[in-house]
Structure 1
Amino acid sequence: MVAPPAAAAAWPPPSKTQIPNLPSLENPKQMILQQCKTRNDLKQLHAHLIKTRLIHSTSLFLSLLESAALVVPDSLDYALSIFRRHHHHHRRRPHTSAFNIMIRALTYHLFPRDAILLFNHMNRDLVLPDHFTFCAAFKACSALRAMIEAQQIHAHVLKRGFQSYGFIENTLIHVYAICAGVEVARRVFDEMPQRDRVAWNAMLAGYSKNGHWDEVVGLFLMMKEKQNVVGFDDVTMITVLTACGRLVNLELGEWVRDYVEANGMMGNLTLMTSLIDMYAKCGHVDKARTLFDQLKCRDVVAWSAMISGYSQAKRCSEALALFSDMQEANVEPNEVTMVSVLYSCGVLGAMETGKWVHFYVNKKKMRLTVTLGTALIDFYAKCGSIESAIEVFEKMPEKNVFSWTAIIHGLANNGEGKRALEFFRLMKEANVEPNDVTLIGALSACSHVGLVEEGRALFKSMTKDFGIEPGIEHYGCMVDVLGRAGLLGEAYEFIKSMPIEPNAIVWRTLLASCRAHKNVPIAEESFRKITQLEPAHSGDYILLSNTYALAGQSEDAKRVRSQMRELGIKKSPGCSLIELEGVVHEFFSEDDEHSYSKEIYKANEEMIERIKLYGYEPNVAEARIDAEEEDKVVSVSHHSEKLAIAFGLIKTQPGATIRISKNLRVCGDCHNATKLISKVYNRKIVVRDRNRFHHFQDGSCSCNDFW
């Protein structure tokens, strides 16, 4: 015989595990939630309620069910067994609240399809839903993007007369925005007789989730007109600040900042992080940093927003410095942090730091998502480690068009044109539709390996096979394909026949080809076209001067250089970066500011003397424009990449690869010198310049002397 409740104090028998106390009937839910921390607690309490017949108390049963379904970890199956057993024994008295708990729990535990099936089962059993049921069912639909089911549940709402419940309408806005698009959600919103702040926020969130940033701002301005009636909260401000960042709408972002400050909302960390992100995306990184430094507590989202801000502003050294501060603060980075850090490492050529990030990702068993995997591919490719990029690509469980595009571009830029085209073929076989950026990579691959016919065929197939109209970048790639192959006349006619106006970059591409093939007439015409479109920069003059010099017209070459001096046009200072032991070192031409300057210049002098024995002769045409004749040999010997390579030679082990990043195009003198250095010192040297990668080894370069 089951003991009555009065005798409960004598139960249960002693055991090593403390059995939860008898729940208070005054507040059973609170007591059960406090007592049940583990699955074992649940089982003991469940047994206790059965033995004392308290399981027949609706409030106690629902509290137990809620604990199992939503509070105690890994107990959903136990909750389902409680629910089914209770439902089986109470066919005539089923509880709507029990169904509500289980529908919520199934969605929460990522079983939304089962949640919708349970809602249908509830209707078949003639259990009357309430407003909580409908909200829970709608959330399950939104998780599945199940539009038809959402419409069916909406019909139930109308049939049962629940359409006037504000929070049901708010949930409807949310589900339609996700499942059907913002237009349908907006119709629901516009038809609401009264709209509270939650409704406005739901519609703002719908626009935000769909990337309709202009609509977010427009709706907020409408909401602003009703400010005294509706009011704003932190949810409103966060959504609007996100839109301001995407639209670079600093004016509205500043208004929001003033409102937040005036209304005492500056203590909200999420809101402050949104302000930091807004300022960073609007290009005001220093304002973002001021706010960041004022935060008393910084979570991973705040750190990531600031690091991302520096990365987007191309202030990559500061991004990596802040990442180092984040590690010292013992804040564990997340995927967003890692993507921004990898981007900065790629820009700076910071190979060791990026490899550490990859090691950290593996150590923490972070999922290799499409975003993270693509960032790793891009990083390795930008550091010239293309085999590592391919390894990451092959390990990715999922790949999208951006992943394929990153590996195709990486291979093309690293002189692996044929492999890039092979990956392009594999991409099509995988039924991944290329985008316009993918095709730029494929066309670049054709140009780097001289595949003219393949380039022509690919260009023609863009519209026919992929429905992509060629843009200015695609025309520029095609000019490069023809120009590199020496088909300068055809390239010139191709530009003249373009259906869109060629820009200076297209003509500059042709000018570079003229230098390589010593074609003076087309070089002069290209230079003239560039000057008509924009003021020619130092690189244009140097390309023209070098074309004259290579064609044996030294007087014309000197005339162009003199013209540069007269016009006050100075060559942009060369800057080369090399990372050693996690520290990025920066060198400028003829730089003597480095702490190892004496050792570097001594090593540089020895390096130049050694390669002279193998035929190196300094090309004084590459010296500074304003250098005196007697200083030109010294000037060209102290170019930034030569200093960086000399530093690499004295600071790395024999045989180690030296990796350099340069802000300008590699000059002809440094290109010839580096080929010889790779042979004399038996080193692989990877140089990334403004245009592409150069892999120097055994006295040759991957670019085949065309860059």
Structure 2
Amino acid sequence: MPNPTTTWNLMIQASVGNGHFLESLQLYSSMLRSNVHGDNFTFPFIAKACGKLGSILDGMKIHAHTILLGFQSHAFVQTSLMDMYSKCSCFVDSRKVFDEMPDRSLVSWNSMIHAYSIQSDMAKALELFNEMRSLGIKPNASTLVSIVSSGCNDLMSALKHGASVQSYGIKVGFHSDLRFLNAVMSVYARLGSINDARVLFHSIEKRSIVTWTVMMGGYVKAGDFNEVFNLFRTMLREGAELDSVALLGVISACVMLGRLFAVCMVYSLLIKCGFDRVQTVTASLVNAYAKCNDTTSARRIFDSVPEKDISLWTSMISGYVHVGCTIKALALSENLLATSIKPSKATIATMLSACNDFGSLSLGEKVEEYAKASNLILDLQLCTSLIQMFCKCGSIERAKEIFERVPGKDLTLWSTMINGYACHGMGEEALALFNEMQRENNNNIKPDAIVFTDVLLACSHCGMIDEGLKCFYSMKRDYGIEPTAEHYCCIVDLLGRAGEIDAAMRVVHEVPFEAQKQVLYCLLSVFRDHHENKLAELVSKELLDFKCRSGEDCVLMANVCASLGKWKEASELRRLVDKRGLFKKPGCSRIEARDYL
């Protein structure tokens, strides 16, 4: 008669091997209810399931069971517990298990070093590595892969670290170990040392698909997209086996270069190689077509996939938002919410972006309700998007409600709410919130240039001259922030709205040369509004020496020239708009009176 423990172990092993980790824990519970206890074969598999699920409570129960059944000194069981704790981000507990082990195998040392690598704690990884060597334990390729992968905040130190580990690996005989060489090359590529990565790549005779994709990823990170295509062509010529990671790299290059023809070629290759139904690749392809402004092809691919995952939905909605097809983005968002698929944080942020563009408060409220149901309502990034959406849709009170209930506010959240008040002409509220933010010293929140722009904008809209000037001069004096053209424009506009023409002109004299053109356009607008024709004429002559950079600039100049009776110059500027293909976005307003679908 077979041992009951062995029977349960085989079922648990099969379940873990198939990736059914929750089912594995359920099997273990059934095993205990049958009065059958685990052994040194059971616990490593159950610990692996807990680590994959990130279930630290179940993992701690398993740890307790190993102690109760006398497996606390079994190296294989203890190593699996270390790995479980590190996968659950409980690194202190992982190290405690390691320190209590009476006999440590090479696998145990590697597991602990790998845990420090996950934390990017290079110092502790090296400390453990040196301790291991002092005990006469010889490292293997896995050890060095973990060591070289441990990060460092200082770029130069990280590069030196990678080079020294590479030298040590060659010295101890790993010069032909492909896994080790790929890891070193990955570090060089990740840190932007593309030349070192390239030299190592060409030194490898027998390359795996990982070798090719690591090098390709390095070129993508470096922004050398032409080299991505060259490497891909070489890869195809040498008959290297393609995988989805390599294709994702090529698709990324197509997106960055905006090459629609290249995207079409890659799509043909995907179909030929059978990757056209891999969801990650398909989502990336949909994104590529949309970024190349071909949403028709993107939608055709999207519709061709029978079972869509959330990444595919997100890519298609994001694609519509990118090209300005807001109505289609909203319609697709409605379709998604009607399915059983759960939107991710990225999806919700994209949907809220579409609501912002269209001013759809009704869909925005649905998205908020979904965020509440998914326990995402306190997520900082999502709350920032919700506040921005409600402000854009005119519901400033709803935005305020969300803002006030968020704990641990970051600078972006404060800035978004201040901007919302500014755009609604609520200068006093914006300034009060700004002052409240400055008092939040516990979180070390310091205003940046963007926040000051929002505050100055609020002061300008509400005619708060003294407060605006106080903020402007405090920006550099108290926070060391150099004013940009946007800040000077806000001050000129603030003074101009209050009729302080002389003061506005004095501010312009303080502006650095590189920002003068933009500020002069603001000053010209002030002169036009106050019918200061002589001053407007002087500024116009100065601005005519510059090339108009946008349709708005040309139209403003043309209107000023026309008001001065300079019809010839006005006509030439109007023709310049058409000649250069410049575009002035027309003003518009929208009322959500019925279903946009």
Shared topology, TM-score over 0.5? yes
Give the structure 1 partner of residue 115 of structure 2: 140
Quick check: 2:521–2:553 contact (8 Å CA) kept in 1?
yes
What is the one-letter code of the residue matched to 1:152? E
Give the structure 2 partner of residue 494 of structure 1: 507
For 2:335 and 2:7, locate their aligned partners in 1 and report how far apart those are by CA, in whole Å.
50
Kindly state the Cα deviation for residue 273 of structure 1 after the two structures are TM-superposed: 1.6
Identical aligned residues as a percent: 23
Q: Compare 113-122 and 321-330 and name the one that shifted more.
A: 321-330
Give the structure 2 partner of residue 399 of structure 1: 409
Give the structure 1 partner of residue 87 of structure 2: 108
Give the structure 2 partner of residue 478 of structure 1: 491
Taking the TM superposition and a 5 Å limit, the aligned residue runs for 1:18-167 are 23-24=6-7, 27=10, 30=13, 37=26, 40-44=29-33, 47-49=35-37, 58-60=40-42, 62-63=44-45, 75-86=58-69, 89=70, 94-122=73-101, 125=102, 127-131=103-107, 133-156=108-131, 158-159=133-134, 161-165=137-141, 167=142
Kindly state the Cα deviation for residue 241 of structure 1 after the two structures are TM-superposed: 4.7
For 1:184 and 1:25, locate their aligned partners in 2 and report how far apart those are by CA, in whole Å.
50
Kindly state the Cα deviation for residue 116 of structure 1 after the two structures are TM-superposed: 2.4
- Gapped regions of structure 1 (runs ≥ 5): 1-5, 9-20, 50-54, 549-554, 585-707
1:418 aligns with 2:400: no
Kindly state the Cα deviation for residue 405 of structure 1 after the two structures are TM-superposed: 1.2
- Partner-residue secondary structure (3-state), 2:591: strand
- Partner-residue secondary structure (3-state), 1:275: helix
For residues 365-422 of structure 1, give each alpha carbon's deviation from its aligned partner in whole angstroms, at most 9, with x where no partner exists. 3242111011011111112222221211111223222111111111111111122122
- Partner-residue secondary structure (3-state), 2:589: strand
Q: Compare 412-421 and 139-148 and name the one that shifted more.
A: 139-148
Quick check: 2:557–2:570 contact (8 Å CA) kept in 1?
no
What is the one-letter code of the residue matched to 1:146? D
- Partner-residue secondary structure (3-state), 2:514: coil
For 1:545 and 1:329, locate their aligned partners in 2 and report how far apart those are by CA, in whole Å.
52
Number of aligned residue pairs: give it: 545
Kindly state the Cα deviation for residue 114 of structure 1 after the two structures are TM-superposed: 1.2
Which of 444, 466, 472 is the aligned partner of 1:459? 472
Q: Compare 21-30 and 479-488 and name the one that shifted more.
A: 21-30
What is the one-letter code of the residue matched to 1:77? M
For residues 276-307 of structure 1, give each alpha carbon's deviation from its aligned partner in whole angstroms, at most 9, with x where no partner exists. 33444465555544443343432011111221
For residues 116-168 of structure 1, give each alpha carbon's deviation from its aligned partner in whole angstroms, at most 9, with x where no partner exists. 2222333xx2x22323x345324432454434322223334555555442x44
Kindly state the Cα deviation for residue 423 of structure 1 after the two structures are TM-superposed: 1.6
Which of 303, 319, 336 is the aligned partner of 1:326? 336
Quick check: 1:196–1:230 contact (8 Å CA) kept in 2?
no
Quick check: 1:204–1:216 contact (8 Å CA) kept in 2?
no
Taking the TM superposition and a 5 Å limit, the aligned residue runs for 1:216-255 are 227=235, 228=238, 233-238=243-248, 241=251, 245=255
1:187 aligns with 2:143: no
For 2:285 and 2:180, locate their aligned partners in 1 and report how far apart those are by CA, in whole Å.
22
- Partner-residue secondary structure (3-state), 2:67: helix
Provide TM-score, normalisation by structure 2.
0.76
What is the one-letter code of the residue matched to 1:270? T
Which of 116, 120, 144 is the aligned partner of 1:169? 144
Distance 1:288 1:149, change over 3 A: farther
For 1:322 and 1:188, locate their aligned partners in 2 and report how far apart those are by CA, in whole Å.
52
The structure whose residues are more often helix, as a share, is: 2
For 1:205 and 1:257, locate their aligned partners in 2 and report how far apart those are by CA, in whole Å.
30
For 2:98 and 2:125, locate their aligned partners in 1 and report how far apart those are by CA, in whole Å.
12
For 2:338 and 2:284, locate their aligned partners in 1 and report how far apart those are by CA, in whole Å.
24
Distance 1:120 1:485, change over 3 A: farther
In our comparison, the structure showing a higher alpha carbon Rg is 1
For 2:551 and 2:2, locate their aligned partners in 1 and report how far apart those are by CA, in whole Å.
96
Quick check: 2:463–2:498 contact (8 Å CA) kept in 1?
yes
Distance 1:475 1:175, change over 3 A: same
Distance 1:524 1:540, change over 3 A: farther
For 2:285 and 2:15, locate their aligned partners in 1 and report how far apart those are by CA, in whole Å.
41
1:349 aligns with 2:356: no
- Partner-residue secondary structure (3-state), 2:343: coil
Quick check: 2:251–2:285 contact (8 Å CA) kept in 1?
yes
For 1:247 and 1:432, locate their aligned partners in 2 and report how far apart those are by CA, in whole Å.
38
Kindly state the Cα deviation for residue 339 of structure 1 after the two structures are TM-superposed: 0.7
Quick check: 2:289–2:295 contact (8 Å CA) kept in 1?
yes
1:520 aligns with 2:524: no
What is the one-letter code of the residue matched to 1:215? A
For 1:363 and 1:248, locate their aligned partners in 2 and report how far apart those are by CA, in whole Å.
39
For 1:174 and 1:528, locate their aligned partners in 2 and report how far apart those are by CA, in whole Å.
60
Distance 1:468 1:566, change over 3 A: closer
Taking the TM superposition and a 5 Å limit, the aligned residue runs for 1:565-644 are 575-583=588-596
- Gapped regions of structure 2 (runs ≥ 5): 17-22, 170-174, 193-216, 579-583
What is the one-letter code of the residue matched to 2:32? K
Distance 1:208 1:379, change over 3 A: farther
Quick check: 2:50–2:84 contact (8 Å CA) kept in 1?
no
Give the structure 1 partner of residue 210 of structure 2: none
Give the number of the structure with larger relative contact order, counting CA–CA contacts within 8 Å between residues 6 or more apart. 1
Q: Compare 562-571 and 236-245 and name the one that shifted more.
A: 562-571
Alignment root-mean-square deviation, CA: 4.3
